[in-house]
Amino acid sequence: MPDSGVTQKPVRLLHLSDIHFGAEDQEALDAVKAFAAHVKPDGIIIAGDITQTGARSQFEAARAWFDGLGFPVIAAPGNHDTPVYHIAARVVAPFDRYERYMEGLDVVGQIRNFGDGLVRVSAINSARGIQGRTNWADGVIDLGDLDDALDRLSKGPENAWRLLICHHPLDQPGLAQISVSTKRGGEALKRCAAAKVDAIITGHIHDAFTFHVPGLKRPMVQMGSGTLSHRLRSTRASFCVIQIDGEHMVQDVVVIDRNGLEIRRNYDSAASSEDGTKAGTQPADIR
């Protein structure tokens, strides 16, 4: 993590994933919009699975909602963002609709800066329309694309925080209720560590998590957000808040239900150990 330097004010990013427009939870979307209006984030990260089946109407609804949030949105695609029921399109141009509707928001092949350049964010596409294995939903890392993203992230101040977005976790979180098999994920983790990436921002498993990546010389974490859809797994609809203040980063999980919001601190870089444990689940104070 950065060795020195402080931002003028904390950088606050909302981390959303797996909204699945077409199966979205409207109450959860309303809660996110109200929360964003209250905390006024510097940016909002969308870590894939924006739609349920890649339909044009779902992308239209997603873009309208993103544009109505009133804060900068940056996005990367997920495996559901290909046209599920149009096999020819999945083969020939699986992300054509995503790229068209997310124009200006898509950060794959791009760089976005926050906090006067002391927080740098880029993304790679870990999803595929089809692939040579049974589960097309699994992730695949193109190491050339990864190296390009890492090169972009490496620019800027030496003490900048560097965040990489990809929909699929590179290594399976222990709490995952689905199998996560990301091709070349292990090699990707090594390259991210060598490039001094601080956090890999993901989704896919529909439950929020943060854990240190073991066996690396440099502290690095994978972070995942929950879902804002009705496709729940072990937790209710939720999203995350990442706050970076100088050399300090925290992740808060915001869980949504009809009674309001439950906010808990899930990760604190100053309190977590480097053996893969997290800081705990104490209540968080977000103002």
pLDDT the model gives residue 176: 63
Contacting residues for 255 by C-beta, under 8 A, at least 6 apart: 226, 235, 236, 237, 238, 261, 262, 263, 264
Q: CATH code for 11-268?
A: 3.60.21.10
pTM confidence score: 0.91
Average pLDDT over residues 98-103: 98
Asked if the model's pLDDT at residue 286 lies above 50, the reply is no
**Structure-model confidence comparison of residues 143 and 3, the more confident one:** 143
Average pLDDT over residues 173-186: 79
pLDDT, tens only, 128-169:
988 888 888 889 999 999 999 999 999 999 999 999 999 999
* CA nearest neighbour of 61 among 23, 17, 108, 15: 23
pLDDT, tens only, 224-276:
999 999 999 888 999 999 999 999 999 999 999 888 899 999 999 888 544 44
**Of 13-17, 75-79, 94-98, 281-285, the least confident:** 281-285
pLDDT the model gives residue 281: 40
Q: What are the residue boundaries of the structural domains of the chain, listed by start?
A: 11-268
**Of 34-48, 54-68, 179-193, the least confident:** 179-193
Mean pLDDT (the chain, rounded): 89
Q: Percent of the chain, pLDDT > 90?
A: 73
